[in-house]
Amino acid sequence: MLKTLKDIVRKSSIHVCIVNCGGCNGCDVELVACLSPRYDLEQYGIYVHNNPREADVILVTGAVTEQWRENLRRIYAKAPEPKVVVAVGNCPQSGDVFAQEGGRVLAPVSDFIPVDAAIPGCPPRPSEILDAILAVAPGAIAAKGRIQDK
């Protein structure tokens, strides 16, 4: 009974934290656009907190820079279980154009923290970001929660 109740609650109340670990800002701008009345993240029960201690979903943007090497792991550790990491944009997956000779990036993000889903695009459209969060987050949070409860 409690577990099903938890599942239902987790599906409809997702708290999001955006972590920009060295991107060009483009993805963050598109994430802000998701808040606008046209896309309206909050109608799906997603709330952007930007506080890792309250987050269910961590949205990672940007290729990892030197300063984020340790900080990223620390932020991941701060988020309470169950948590889902979604990589937004090309940078967290491959480093995009910055992963070349001379670039000081440490992509991919999956070397540092486990990534559950990735949205390619430079930057992805707000509707794609919304779609991905809704497709992955409720199920993954509920599933991870069930493993933890056992």
Strand order through the sheet with 14-20: 46-48, 14-20, 57-61, 84-88, 117-119
What minimum distance in Å lies between the beta carbon of 99 and other proteins? 9
Among 15, 98, 115, 136, which residue interacts with other proteins (rule: CB under 8 A)? 98
- The answer to whether residue 150 forms part of the interface with other proteins (CB under 8 A) is no
Among 15, 41, 46, 52, which residue interacts with other proteins (rule: CB under 8 A)? 52
* SS3 (DSSP) at 65: strand
Among 17, 60, 86, 118, which residue interacts with other proteins (rule: CB under 8 A)? 17
Cis peptide before 126 (omega within 30 of 0): no
Residues within window 111-130 making contact with other proteins, judged by CB under 8 A: 122-123, 125
CA nearest neighbour of 143 among 62, 92, 93, 83: 83
Amino acid at 55: A
What minimum distance in Å lies between the beta carbon of 139 and other proteins? 26
Amino acid at 110: S
The Cβ of residue 20 has, within 10 Å, a number of other Cβ atoms equal to 17
Q: Which residues make up the interface to other proteins (CB under 8 A)?
A: 17-30, 32-33, 35-38, 49-52, 62-63, 65-68, 71, 75, 96-98, 100-105, 122-123, 125
